[in-house]
Amino acid sequence: MRVILAGGAGTLGGDLVDLLSDQHQFMVIDDFQESSVDYELLAHKVPVLRANLANFEAIEKSVIEFNPEAIIYLATTVSLDQQRGFETVIGLKNLLEIGARVGQPRVLYIQSFLTREVSKPVRSDSPLCARDSYSVWKLAGELLLDSYDGESSTIVLSSVISPRLNVGAIPAFVRRLSAKQSLQVTSTSRDYLHPADFSSAIQLLLTLPGMPKKTVVGSGKAVQTQQVALCVAQAMGIDLDPKEITVTEPKISDPSIVILDPDEFSQWSQWSPRHTFQDAVEKCVREIQHSQRKIRQHH
């Protein structure tokens, strides 16, 4: 299948190229301003268009020539620049417009759980909830997708522990433990997913008929942030006592627990997570240590 990975130079795009490029013909479109994958390395694996999705003229010809059967929209931003958030929505609009001219490819829109009410396990019918500007832009894209006449699905996704992570708790823990600094975590719990399980879910959404309009993909379990820190330390060969970790209360805007309920998706596709949290953390830690990449602040 010919698949465009829009914003595909990020962590999730890199995972899909690694794990599914033997089954699909990918083309990545990304401006590489916030990328996690090196342009030259990626271009050796799949066709890459270095362009801003919001620039219609810059992408139109290449998309039409590629004639995609599917589009996976991964574009997002961790920047506080509101223009970048706006561009992610315009980029989706452009692809939907061009897609309508080339046979209306199947569109998968990767959505953040931060756009849902999380007081209960997140399901496809969970109330929408925008806590910050990031969530507002992500929701705007989802609502825009509702106007698309082709087949589409919004996938509310848990936190994927990509080996390319350069933002969030795990990279921050690696940095602080490497510098022999103390750790402080919030008393929060999150739903985490192994990249291989994420990729297998996407494979099903690309190939099975009658995909759901909205669905939820996660492990169905919540891991305490303190436990994440301990797993990172273990992966680094550090004997860390839980008592050495300072646990504080989260901000009011930061949910104390997030669990994604994958039952609906599992019933539709027979999918279930098959890889462990610890394995994902170990691979992520090894890659961070090996690459020495710059750690970014979270949005």
> Whole-angstrom Cα distance, residue 88 to residue 73?
9
Which residues make Cβ contacts (< 8 Å) with residue 123, sequence separation at least 6?
Answer: 216, 261, 264
pTM of the model: 0.94
DSSP string covering 256-288, please? SB--B--HHHHHHH-----S-HHHHHHHHHHHH
Tens-place pLDDT, residues 61-106? 999 999 999 999 999 876 667 888 899 999 999 999 999 999 999 9
Could you tell me if 273 and 197 are in contact, meaning their C-beta atoms sit under 8 angstroms apart? yes
pLDDT value of residue 297: 46
Which residues make Cβ contacts (< 8 Å) with residue 12, sequence separation at least 6?
Answer: 74, 110, 160, 162, 198
Could you tell me if 212 and 280 are in contact, meaning their C-beta atoms sit under 8 angstroms apart? no
Could you tell me if 154 and 126 are in contact, meaning their C-beta atoms sit under 8 angstroms apart? no
> Whole-angstrom Cα distance, residue 29 to residue 168?
24
> Whole-angstrom Cα distance, residue 135 to residue 277?
26
pLDDT value of residue 299: 34
Q: Please give the mean pLDDT across all residues of the chain.
A: 94
> Whole-angstrom Cα distance, residue 273 to residue 299?
27
pLDDT value of residue 166: 83
pLDDT value of residue 298: 43
Phi, psi of 159 (to 5 degrees): -75, 115
> Whole-angstrom Cα distance, residue 9 to residue 31?
8
Q: Which amino acid, residue 79?
A: S
DSSP string covering 111-142, please? EEGGGB--SS-B-TTPPB---SHHHHHHHHHH
What residue ranges define each of the domains in the chain, with the CATH number in brackets? 2-158+193-217 (3.40.50.720), 169-192+220-260+274-291 (3.90.25.10)
Which residues make Cβ contacts (< 8 Å) with residue 10, sequence separation at least 6?
Answer: 30, 34, 35, 36, 37, 74, 76, 164
pLDDT value of residue 81: 75
> Whole-angstrom Cα distance, residue 14 to residue 18?
6
pLDDT value of residue 102: 94
Q: Where are the alpha helices (DSSP H) in 146-244?
A: 169-178, 195-207, 225-235
pLDDT value of residue 293: 58
Tens-place pLDDT, residues 216-243? 999 999 999 999 999 999 999 999 999 9
DSSP string covering 70-103, please? EEEE-----SS-HHHHHHHHHHHHHHHHHHTTTT
Segments in the chain below pLDDT 70: 78-80, 292-299
Q: Which amino acid, residue 19?
A: L
